[in-house]
Structure 1
Amino acid sequence: MAPDLEPGYTVFATSLGACGLAWTRKGVDFLIAPENDDQAVRAELAAKCPGRPEVKRPGAPVRDVIQRLCRHLSGRPDPLTDVALDLARFSAFGRKVGRALRR
């Protein structure tokens, strides 16, 4: 992401429903797949990312990821393999799987 980007989370609309995205200075660390209830997405993000603020207008690096996810979910595939991830909260096995999926 960007070293000057403060950690946070946001909820955004897609063609399939509300998604949630959380990030750290290192990269995206949590994504909630589309749901019909944006309040449920918001509540899950708040629970999974305690201490982080909800950001209504995220910075450019996050907006770029959101735009790409929206296009991907509307039928224009994007591998998103260049999006920075922060896998610190994952288990060793989860990090290994995450790295393998990005190849």
Structure 2
Amino acid sequence: MTPSGFTLFDTAIGRCGVVWSAQGIVAVQLPQHTEEQTRARIDQRYPGLNEAAPPTQVGRAIDRIVALLAGRSVDLSDIALDQAEVSEFQRRVYAIARAIPPGNTLSYGDIAKRLGDVALSREVGQALGRNPCPIIVPCHRVLAAGDKPGGFSANGGVATKLKLLSIEGARVNYTPSLFD
């Protein structure tokens, strides 16, 4: 995998970024506090990568991400990803997550069961925490046991996860407690 370029684009949740290669999208960067911080985050992960106009397929993917984040029910599961830098286990987890429709959720345990062993729940959470393509691989649609949001590694943490779920119309029965 050799990333070809990146671009920033506006969404309902802020200015996001996308990195691509000839094989597909390598990474999606959710918004940081400022555009400069979003750009710096991409540069930190992909030093020296040039900002460029996206190729047609990447432009179409961006349009669909923008639509989803604007509240439209859009399926992103067919967007080509370059997963050369992720493990086979992560690919399996991401494939299950990509099949979760907007407005729906699964738990880490549900995904672990689909992988054949509920004891893999922690590993599922770790794989989703390293997800390089949030939104396209909708890790925000995966909850902890008891409909608790669990973690979210993007800027804003759990609040961002809950915002994304709200945009999609997902019902999450969650009230933060002093112990969360």
Q: Could you state the TM-score of these two structures normalised by the residue count of structure 1?
A: 0.82
The corresponding residue for 1:23 is 20
Where in structure 1 are there 5+ consecutive unaligned residues?
1-5
- Cα distance in 1 for residues equivalent to 2:88 and 2:25: 17
Aligned length: 97
Deviation at 1:102, TM superposition (A): 3.0
Q: Which runs of 5+ in 2 are unaligned?
A: 100-180
Looking at structure 1, the residues matched to 68 and 31 of structure 2 have their Cα atoms a distance apart, in angstroms, of 12
By percentage of residues, which structure has more strand?
1
Aligned 1:26-37 pairs, distance under 5 A:
26-37=23-34
- Tell me how large the CA RMSD over aligned residues is: 1.7
8 Å Cα contact 1:18/1:36 also seen in 2: no
Larger radius of gyration: 2
Of 72, 76, 79 in structure 2, the residue corresponding to residue 80 of structure 1 is 76
More helix by share: 2
* 1:48-72, Cα deviation, whole Å (9 max, x unpaired): 12342111x2221111111111011
Q: Percent identity, aligned pairs only?
A: 34
TM-score scaled by length of structure 2: 0.50
Higher RCO (C-alpha 8 Å, min separation 6)? 1
- Runs of 4+ aligned residues of structure 1 deviating over 6 Å after TM superposition are none
